[in-house]
Structure 1
Amino acid sequence: MEHHRSGPIETGAEMDYREHEKTYDGFLAGTKWGTMVTVVLLIAMAAGFFSGAGFLGGLIVFIVLNVAGVFLLR
């Protein structure tokens, strides 16, 4: 004889939705800022290697674009 449940089956402890939202927001923030820094680093490396600006030129591009990114992504 088979027994079928009509409602949801609860397994384990109850979910802490506040903590779940906090973790999700942290993941999204880390992804957003990490992507920005990676893209800025690639642009700065391209500016340093291909434009003849060298290390200092690439460093300046990196700093300026990071500051701009912080203001744009807020």
Structure 2
Amino acid sequence: LILIANRLLKSATTKLIVGILLAIIILGIGISRIYVGVHFASDVLGGWSLGFVTLAISRYCFNRFGGGIA
């Protein structure tokens, strides 16, 4: 969602606000999983790390190959 929002939105301020809101949602979901007791902190940190690596690879591919979004 962060990549798509950055591609579709024109204003830098709007991109920043949407990026912050999405980051808050990502952090909130991870923290809630620990709070509810369905995951250990290491599970959530591992998921965040894997998500960050996936985001970095996806960003590279979008920038390198165009991403298919106008």
TM-score, length-scaled by structure 1: 0.47
Larger radius of gyration: 1
- Report 1 or 2 for greater relative contact order, CA contacts < 8 Å, sequence distance ≥ 6: 2
- Higher share in helix: 2
TM-score, length-scaled by structure 2: 0.49
